[in-house]
Structure 1
Amino acid sequence: MSLFRSIASRGKSVSHLTPYLYSSAAVAAAAGLGAAAVDPSSGWYKGLRKPAWQPPSWAFGAVWTPLYASIAGAAGHALPRTPAAQRHQVVGSLAVNLVLNAGWNWLFFKARSPKAGLVGTSALVVSNAHLVYQVGKHDRGAALTLTPYALWCCFATALNASILRRNR
């Protein structure tokens, strides 16, 4: 009897984890695709004039790791709390957001264009606001969890704008 309870409870915990697994996979894919475009040791990037308030290169990995975890966690938490008829709105907002998130690296680093990067990160800021709004309609805690990510992207947009101004 306890063996059947154990299997049943394992099944429930797996199904409970499913939204987290999907959101984690999507976030990891976006992070990996974005990282593929980044080469902070390139001569082009090193040659850019940057503001004194830019964090050191190592800080970006230290910040982005928990931010990506918070995106996956917030989405995984919000999806089961979102009515099925409205879930596509949250999923769509997340998908657009992750494409823009990864895309910024390709625009800025791979295309070597701070101008295109600024367009991309500005779109990401708008997407963040929309994502927080969509998630917040169904899960306020998850929306609050996304706030540091949204704020960091605002900081990144200001940094991108400063780099563009210094390197016209």
Structure 2
Amino acid sequence: MALRPPRLYISAMTTLAGRQPWLSLRSLLVLLCALAVCFGAAQLGAAATYPNLAPWYEGLAKPPFNPPNAAFPIAWSILFALMAVSLWRVVILGEGTARRRALIAFAVQLAFNIGWSFAFFAARSPLLGLIEIGPFLAAIAWTIGRFRPIDGIAAALLYPYLAWVTFAALLNASILVLNG
């Protein structure tokens, strides 16, 4: 009796849903593009954020549950990596109209992601940030809804993102109240 690798290993190394090799050149290029798109968006948001941290953001009154500044780049790096893997899975597994609609939803939520940094930090406006974060949350939920029929794992990878942005909305609202 020959030893066989575990089933999970076989499926992870050979195919996604029997259609596309995980480690094919195309799949790896899609992953690299997904990482570039997500971390490119992160850089755009950072360009709006970092110049406004000191003295503006540092000078704002913040609620006691405000995380330390060092937590934000760590959390966002993890979230953008999860978004990239989620996007990769949808591009590889999706087909036709379902994939196109999922990618549109993803692009919309990513635009809102970047937009929030410009509304809150670049405009130095917690009010604009709060106004923008509502549609941003809706766009994340819409993306999850579009991803789920294609790949449940891709959809699930976006739940921490939804949770973090929900927390960010609470933080944004608190900062607005404390500094209004």
With the length of structure 2 as denominator, give the TM-score of the two structures.
Answer: 0.83
- Answer yes or no: is the 8 Å Cα contact 1:82–1:138 preserved in 2: yes
* Residues 99, 150 of structure 2: 8 Å contact kept: no
1:150 & 1:97 partners in 2: Cα distance? 11
Q: Distance in 2 between matches of 1:81 and 1:104?
A: 30
**Deviation per residue, 1:82-109 (Å, 9 max, x gap):** 1223221111111111111011111101
For residues 140-155 of structure 1, the aligned pairs below 5 Å read: 140-155=152-167
Q: Percent identity?
A: 36
Aligned AA for 1:33? Answer: L
Task: Look up the SS of the partner of 2:79 in the other structure.
Answer: helix
2:87 to 65, 68, 75: 75
**1:108 matches 2:117:** no
1:37 pairs with 2:48: yes
Aligned counterpart, 1:137: 149
Shift of 1:17: 1.8
Of 23, 30, 34, which aligns to 1:19? 30
- Structure 2: segments with no counterpart, 5+ residues: 1-22
Query: Within 5 Å, which residues of 2 pair with 1:60-99?
Result: 60-99=72-111
> Matched residues in 2 for 1:73 and 1:114: separation?
31
Describe the superposition over 1:45-90 as per-residue Cα deviations: whole angstroms up to 9, x where unpaired: 1221100100000000111111100000011012221122322111
Shift of 1:134: 0.4
**Letter of the structure 1 residue corresponding to residue 65 of structure 2:** W
Aligned residue identity for 2:98: Q
Cα deviation, 1:90-144, whole Å, max 9, x if unaligned, reads 1111111111101111110110000000112222111110010000011001111
RMSD: 1.3
Larger relative helix fraction: 1
Runs of at least 4 residues of structure 1 off by over 3 A?
Answer: none
Give the SS at the match of 2:157.
helix
Is 1:47 matched up with 2:59?
A: yes
Count of aligned pairs between the two proteins: 157
Give the 3-state SS of the residue equivalent to 2:124 in structure 1: coil
Cα distance in structure 2, aligned partners of 1:119 and 1:41: 20
Q: Which has the higher contact order (CA 8 A, sep 6+)?
A: 1
